[in-house]
């Protein structure tokens, strides 16, 4: 067990820089999840921590030791790969015990550790099988077991659940979280699935194009996204982000489509009347209302996605408005494309962003 720290870590391939200075501090026993769209550099970052990829500049510390120039094997970390990377010619037991064997542990002790890990992961019946005779979920657990038996300073996970079907993924998600809590090992977990990220993380790092956009607890990121990218990435369906203008009194915003929404807080001095802003509001932060109720405005529905308990109404403020917006409504509601619904936004859940930089105001 150990802390993990990255200080202004950068990575370039040739002339192109793909990681632009990332700093993270992971506390002992903490579960930190890195989430971001494909190609943003999550794997690269993780592989640099593992020592599989050299860093171009910056400092990486594991347990207080600078590991910049250490080989993977000297870093005392375990990694679970996306494709599991099980040794195909070894049995499950040998796969899990490989690291211990190399560490020179006596056979009996090794077998005992492997057995204990296998028990934790329900793998006892499969110890003598080769990986190709296992299902995807079982392979995934073997990969976990291989990391677990080593009792390393830190776990690194690179999208370990992305090859599993939806149901198994939920199941494994819970299992990973539970396991990590029992063994209490510092973990860095990479995923592009924001649900996985929200549910697993003690702390969440939202990455975009080689930059850590925001580092905070999942709920803090959900409640106060630092910029439009984070706002759009965390939450499903994505937050509605609409161009708007501060009203003359400075206590509300006027959407481009017409309606005015009152703001609860006092605005900072820089956000004076008439300033253009981006207004963010999540689909789940609308309430349906009757026509003409105070603060309500109509949304012309053009498509409905029904999920069961809920439905998502996609609509526009006016029939010709360019921007579409999504509203969460109860699933049994009878909606018709082309007809308006009337909604009231939750005033406490509004987000304002600077249009040029996308930063939160």
Using an 8 Å Cβ cutoff, are 342 and 318 in contact?
no
- The rounded distance, in Å, linking the Cα atoms of 137 and 41 is 26
In the complex, minimum distance from the CB of residue 159 to ligand ATP, in angstroms, rounded to a whole number: 6
Contact (CB, 8 A) for 150 and 78:
yes
Tell me the H-state helices in the chain. Answer: 42-50, 92-102, 107-120, 136-149, 166-183, 194-200, 218-223, 228-233
Q: Which residue has the tokens 């019946």?
A: 125
Which residue in 5, 43, 180, 228 binds Mg ion (CB under 5 A)?
43
44 binds ligand ATP (CB under 6 A): yes
Q: Which of 45, 50, 121, 341 binds other proteins (CB under 8 A)?
A: 50
Q: Comparing C-alpha atoms, which of 141, 238, 190 is closest to residue 204?
A: 190
* Three-class secondary structure of residue 103 per DSSP: coil
For the bound state, the minimum distance from the C-beta of residue 45 to ligand ATP, rounded and expressed in Å, comes to 7
Q: 19 by DSSP, 3-state: which? A: strand
Evaluate whether 299 touches 341 at the Cβ level (below 8 Å): yes
Only segment of 70-78, 173-181, 231-239, 340-348 that touches other proteins (CB under 8 A): 70-78
Site string for ligand ATP, 3-42 (x = CB under 6 A): ----------x----x-----------------x-xxxxx
Contacts of 184 by beta carbon, 8 Å cutoff, 6+ apart: 1, 29
* Interaction between residue 95 and Mg ion (CB under 5 A): no
Residue 14 within binding range of other proteins, rule CB under 8 A:
no
317 binds, among Mg ion, ligand ATP, other proteins, none (CB under 5 to 8 A by kind): none
Q: Verify binding: residue 103, other proteins, rule CB under 8 A.
A: yes
- What are the start-end ranges of the E strands in 258-334? 260-262, 276-281, 286-288, 297-306, 310-316, 324-330
From 6, 30, 33, 43, residue interacting with ligand ATP (rule: CB under 6 A): 43
Contacted entry of Mg ion, ligand ATP, other proteins, none for residue 18, CB cut-off 5 to 8 Å set by kind: ligand ATP
Q: Does 73 bind other proteins (CB under 8 A)?
A: yes
Nearest approach in angstroms of CB 66 to ligand ATP is 23
Q: Select from other proteins, Mg ion, ligand ATP, none the partner in contact with residue 38, using the beta carbon and a kind-dependent cut-off of 5 to 8 Å.
A: ligand ATP
**Contacts with ligand ATP, 186-215, as mask; x by CB under 6 A:** ------x-----------------------
CA distance 165 to 198: 19
Say how far apart CA 92 and CA 114 lie, in whole Å.
9
- Between 187 and 226, how does the x/- string for binding to other proteins read (CB under 8 A)? ----------------------------------------
C-alpha angle 205-211-215 in degrees, rounded to nearest 5: 25
Q: Identify whether the C-beta of residue 6 lies closer than 8 Å to the C-beta of residue 188.
A: no
Contact 90, 130 (CB under 8 A): yes
Of the residues 1, 66, 102, 219, which one makes contact with other proteins according to CB under 8 A: 102
Q: Which stretch binds other proteins (CB under 8 A): 95-103, 118-126, 204-212, 262-270?
A: 95-103
Q: Which stretches of the chain bind ligand ATP, using CB under 6 A?
A: 13, 18, 36, 38-44, 192
Instruction: Note the residues at the interface with other proteins (CB under 8 A).
Output: 50-52, 71-73, 77-79, 81, 83, 85-89, 98-99, 102-103, 132, 146, 150
Footprint of Mg ion on this chain (CB under 5 A)?
43
């Amino acid at each position: 067990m150990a802390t993990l720290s990255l200080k202004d870590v950068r990575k370039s391939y040739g002339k192109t820089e793909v990681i632009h200075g990332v700093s993270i501090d992971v506390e002992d026993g903490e579960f930190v999840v890195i989430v971001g769209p494909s190609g943003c550099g999550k794997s690269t970052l993780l592989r640099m921590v593992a020592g599989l990829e050299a860093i171009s500049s910056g400092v990486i510390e594991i347990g207080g030791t600078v590991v910049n120039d250490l080989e993977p094997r000297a870093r005392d970390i375990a990694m679970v790969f996306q494709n599991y990377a099980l040794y195909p010619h070894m049995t499950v037991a040998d796969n899990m015990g490989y690291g211990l064997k190399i560490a020179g542990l006596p056979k009996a002790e090794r077998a005992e550790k492997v057995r204990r890990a296998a028990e934790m992961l329900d793998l006892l019946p499969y110890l003598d099988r080769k990986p190709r005779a296992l299902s995807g979920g079982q392979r995934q657990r073997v990969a976990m077991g291989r990391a677990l038996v080593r009792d390393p300073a830190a776990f690194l996970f690179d999208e370990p659940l992305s090859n599993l079907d939806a149901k198994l993924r939920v199941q494994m998600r819970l299992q990973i979280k539970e396991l990590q809590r029992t063994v209490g090992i510092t973990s860095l977990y990479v995923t592009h699935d924001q649900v996985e990220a929200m549910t697993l993380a003690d702390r969440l790092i939202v990455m975009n194009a080689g930059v850590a956009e925001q580092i905070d607890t999942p709920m803090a990121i959900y409640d106060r996204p630092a910029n439009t990218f984070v706002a759009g990435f965390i939450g499903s369906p994505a937050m509605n982000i609409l161009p708007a203008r501060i009203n003359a009194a400075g206590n509300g915003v006027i959407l481009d489509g017409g309606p005015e929404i009152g703001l609860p807080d006092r605005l900072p001095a820089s956000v004076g009347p008439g300033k253009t802003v981006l207004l963010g509001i999540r689909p789940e932060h609308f309430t349906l209302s009757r026509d003409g109720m105070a603060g309500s405005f109509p949304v012309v529905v053009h498509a409905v996605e029904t999920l069961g308990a809920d439905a998502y109404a996609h609509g526009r403020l006016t029939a010709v408005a360019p921007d579409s917006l999504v509203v969460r409504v109860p699933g049994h509601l009878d909606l018709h494309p082309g007809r308006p619904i009337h909604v009231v936004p939750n005033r406490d859940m509004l987000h304002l962003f600077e249009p040029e930089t996308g930063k939160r105001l």
